[in-house]
Structure 1
Amino acid sequence: MKLATYRDGSRDGQLVVVSRDLSQACFATGIATRLQQVLDDWNFMAPQLESLSQSLNQGRARHAFSFDPRQCLAPLPRPAAWLAGEAYPAHGAELRERGVPVPERLSGPLIRMGGAETLLGPNDTPLLRGVPGLEPEPQLAVVLGDLPADAVPSQALDAVRLLMAVNAWVLRPVQQEELAQGWPALHSRPALQCAPVAITPEELPGAWYLGRAALQIQMHRNGRKQPLLETKEGMAWSFGDLIAEAARRRPLRAGTLVGAGMPAGAAPMTLKDGDSLRIDFKMAEGGSPFGAIDMDLAESTATQDEGADAADAGDASNVLDDARDARDASEADERNATEREPHEGETSEGETSDPGADASDVTDPQADDRGVNQSDAVAVDPTAPGPAPKAAARPPRRKAGKPPAPEGDQ
C-alpha cells in the first residue's frame, strides 16, 4: 500500500491512502488520522489500510479524490528519530577527494544521529536562500516499527514498515568545518526533504530483496537531466546491517527513520538562488513509486510557512471537509443504531416525566436543607378548571438561610 499525509493546518496532517498509480487517494477516516498512529499499532491497523488500498486500486473506495502531491507534508512529519547511514563507501571516497574529511570505516556501516525536527514536503522550499554550498543528497530510507536493542540484521529487517525517498540537504563548506573540528554534523545538515508517498516493501516487487532496493535516482537541475544513480550498486551494507548497527546499544522506537546515504556517481551539484531541482526514484520499468521531490529556490520562503498557494489550500480544505462530513455521518449512524438507555427522569422513550413543566417552576427537593422555603415556587391549584392560572408576578427568591417574612408583613 501507499500512504501520504495531507496538509490540514496541524503539525501531523491527515493520513491518506494513495492508489498504486498515484492518481487517486482517500482519507483513512475511521482507521487512523496520522501515520504515527498506524506505526504504533501496526498489526491492527495495517490490514485495515491494506483493505482500503485494495478498494481504492479497484475503483471501489468511497469518497476518493484526485491525488495532489502539492498538498502533501512529509509522509511522517515528525519521526521519532532520523538516523543517517552511510552504506556507500565509494560516495565517501568521492567526498574525500573533494577535500571533505568524511570518516572511513571498513568494518561496518557508519551511522549518525540527524535532525528529525525539520522534514519538508515534496514541494517545500528549504529556508536556505542565499546560503552558499547547498547540495542535495538523495537517498532511500526506511520507517521502522518498535525494535529491541541488540537486534540482528534479519530481525532488524522484520521491523521495516515503509520505504521513503528523501533528500538530505547539506551545506558542504559548513560540513567541512564541522568535520575538521571533530564535531558531529549540526549546522551543515539543515533539513530533510521527502517525496510525497511512503510505500510498503511489497510495492517494489522484484526490486526489494534482502534489505536492498534496485532503483534509479533521476535528478533534473533547471530542467537538465543529471546522471542516473543506482541505489543497489555499491551498497556495501544492507538496511538490515544499518538498522542493527543503530540498535546495537539501544532500542529503536516506532517511527524511526533510517537512511542509506547517497549512492556514488553523482557530479558535484551546488544550487544557487533561482535554481530548480526535481528528484525522482524510478523502477526498472519506469514507474515512480514515491512520487517526485520538486522544489524551486526562486519561490518565496514565506509561501512555505503557509503551505501551497491559496487556491491549492482551498482545494485541500474542501476535500478535508467532504471527508469529515462523511466521517460525521458514519458516526451519527452508529450512534442512532445503538439503543440509548434512558437517563434519570426520562421514560423509556427518552421523554421527561413531565415534558410540559417549566424548569423554573420545578421545586428543588433539597431546598429545605439549604434554607430555601418552597413557598417561593408558584402554586397551581390542580382542581381549578381550564388551564392553570399563572401568577401575576413571581416574588424574588430568598437567599438561603433567611426565612420568608409573614404574609401580614408583605
Structure 2
Amino acid sequence: MKLATLKDGSRDGLLIVVSRDLATAQVADGIAPTLQRVLDDWDFYAPQLQEVYDALNHGRGRHSFAFDPRECMAPLSRAYQWADGSAYVNHVELVRKARGAEMPPEFWTDPLMYQGGSDDLLGPCDDIVCASEDFGIDFEAEVAVVTADVPMGASRERALAGIRLLMLVNDVSLRNLIPAELAKGFGFFQSKPATAFSPVAVTPDELGDAWRDAKVHRPLMVQWNGKKFGAPDCGTDMVFDFAQLVAHIARTRNVGAGTIVGSGTISNVDRSKGSACIAERRMLETIEHGAPQTGFMKFHDTVRIEMTDAGGKSIFGAIDQEVVPLAAA
C-alpha cells in the first residue's frame, strides 16, 4: 500500500491513497483525515485503505485523479518524533579517518542517533531554504521507517513488528555549522534544518524480497544538478538494521505511533557505488589528496533522490529539490 499527503492549505494536509505505479490517487478522508490518525489505530484503518488501494490498482478507483508529487507534503508533515541513526558505520569511520581520529570500538555495537526537528518536515519538491551558502549546504540520502506504538524495553522482534511504513529521506545538513555545535557537547541543532521526505510512504510488502532482515536491499540513486552522484545499496554495509534502531530508541522510553526513524546516510565500502552526501566525497578526497576538492551546494543547485524496483519503476517517487536563498523564499 502507498499513502501520501496532499497539500490543501492546512498544516497536516489531506490523506490520499496512491496507486502502485504512482499514476493515480484517491482522497481517503472518508476513512481517516490524516496519516497520523491511521498510525494511531492501524489495525482499524489499514484494511479500509487497502481496499481503496486494490481498487486503484485495478482501475476501479472512485473519484481518482492523476497523482502529482509536486502537490504533496511530506507523508507526515509534522511528526511526534524524528530520530536519525547512523547505521552505516563505514560513513562514520570515514569522517574520523579524514580528520585523523581513531574509531571508538563501541561504534560498531551501539548505534549513534540524534533527535531532529519534527515540527516542520518538507514535501518531496519543496525548496531547501538557506540563509547563506557559507553554511556548507549538503544533502544526505537515506531511508526511514515509520512506527506504530512500540513499548519501552521492546526486543528486536517486537520493534520489527512495529514498523508500519518506509520512506526516502533528504536529511539536509549545514556542514560548516556542525563543528562548533558538536564542540559544545550537546549535539546537532541549527546545523540540521528541515528534512524532506519522499512523495509516498509504502508498507514493507511493497518492496517484496527487497525488504528482508529489516533492511531495504535496493540502490538509492542520487543526482546533483542532473548528474549521477551515487547509487549505494541500502542493504549492503548496514551495520544496524531498522529493528535494532527502533529497539535502541525503546530502550528507555515508549515509542509513539508516527515516530520516524532514519538510517543515516547510505554508504558502501565499495567506492564504485558513489556517495549519498557531499561530505563523504570530500572525506575520500581528503584521504586521497590531503584536502577536499568538491564544494558544497550553491543557491539554485538541485538534488534528486529516488529508488526503483528491479523492473526500473519508482517505488516511493522522487525527492526533487532546489536550494534557494532565504530572502527569495
Give TM-score scaled by structure 2 length.
0.88
Other-structure match for 1:83: 83
Matches within 5 A, 1:6-405: 6-99=6-99, 104=104, 105-132=107-134, 133-265=136-268, 266=275, 267-268=281-282, 270-298=296-324
Is 2:30 aligned against 1:4? no
Contact in 1 for aligned 2:133/2:297 (Cα 8 Å): no
Provide the secondary structure at the position in 1 that maps to 2:220.
strand
Query: Matches of 1:260 and 1:179 in 2, distance apart?
Result: 20
Aligned residue pair count: 303
Provide the secondary structure at the position in 1 that maps to 2:96.
helix
Distance 1:263 1:100, change over 3 A: farther
Query: Matches of 1:101 and 1:77 in 2, distance apart?
Result: 38
Query: Matches of 1:72 and 1:102 in 2, distance apart?
Result: 43
Higher-Rg structure is 1
Of structures 1 and 2, the one scoring higher in RCO (CA 8 A, sep 6+) is 2
Distance 1:32 1:70, change over 3 A: same
Contact in 1 for aligned 2:19/2:53 (Cα 8 Å): yes
The CA deviation string for residues 187-229 of structure 1, in whole angstroms up to 9 with x for no partner, is 1111111111000001000100121011211111111111211
**Which residue identity is paired with 2:97?**
E
**Which residue identity is paired with 1:215?**
R
Give TM-score scaled by structure 1 length.
0.71
Query: Matches of 2:55 and 2:5 in 1, distance apart?
Result: 19
Query: Matches of 2:8 and 2:101 in 1, distance apart?
Result: 42
Provide the secondary structure at the position in 2 that maps to 1:47.
helix
Provide the secondary structure at the position in 1 that maps to 2:94.
helix
- Stretches of structure 1 lacking an aligned partner (at least 5 in a row): 304-410
The CA deviation string for residues 141-171 of structure 1, in whole angstroms up to 9 with x for no partner, is 0000011100001100100010010110111
Shift of 1:297: 2.0
Contact in 2 for aligned 1:84/1:114 (Cα 8 Å): yes
Query: Matches of 2:103 and 2:18 in 1, distance apart?
Result: 40
Query: Matches of 1:60 and 1:299 in 2, distance apart?
Result: 44
Query: Matches of 2:102 and 2:319 in 1, distance apart?
Result: 26
Task: Name whichever of 179-188 and 157-166 sits farther off.
Answer: 179-188
**Which residue identity is paired with 1:85?**
G
**Which residue identity is paired with 1:33?**
P
Provide the secondary structure at the position in 2 that maps to 1:10.
coil
**Which residue identity is paired with 1:159?**
G
- Stretches of structure 2 lacking an aligned partner (at least 5 in a row): 269-274, 276-280, 283-294
Distance 1:299 1:170, change over 3 A: closer
Other-structure match for 2:278: none
Other-structure match for 1:387: none
Query: Matches of 1:113 and 1:138 in 2, distance apart?
Result: 17
Aligned-residue CA RMSD (Å): 1.8
Shift of 1:255: 0.5
**Which residue identity is paired with 2:61?**
A
